[in-house]
Amino acid sequence: MTEQMTSGIELMFVGMGIVFLFLAMLVVAINIMSALVQRYFPETPASKAVPGITVDIDKSVVAAITAAMHQYRKKHN
């Protein structure tokens, strides 16, 4: 029985060691890929407005949307 327990504990430590090494290598690989992506594909700053696009919204449409929102909030509150 002692030999089986020793063998089981040894197998447990080997298995846990393999899992630990795999997870450590995974963390290292993710950090390397993250560094490569940030180096070769840097984020471009987002602009506030897109030039060349103008939005003309009729004031009556805005008034209708506002009235609908007011009615919805009044009914569901």
Structural domain harbouring 64 = 2-76
pTM greater than 0.85:
no
* pLDDT tens readout for residues 11-58: 999 999 999 999 999 999 999 999 999 999 888 777 666 666 667 788
Q: What are the C-alpha distances in Å from 38 to residues 41, 47, 51, 54?
A: 5, 20, 27, 33
pLDDT value of position 54:
63
pLDDT value of position 45:
75
Domain count, the chain: 1
Cα gap 43→66, rounded to integer Å? 37
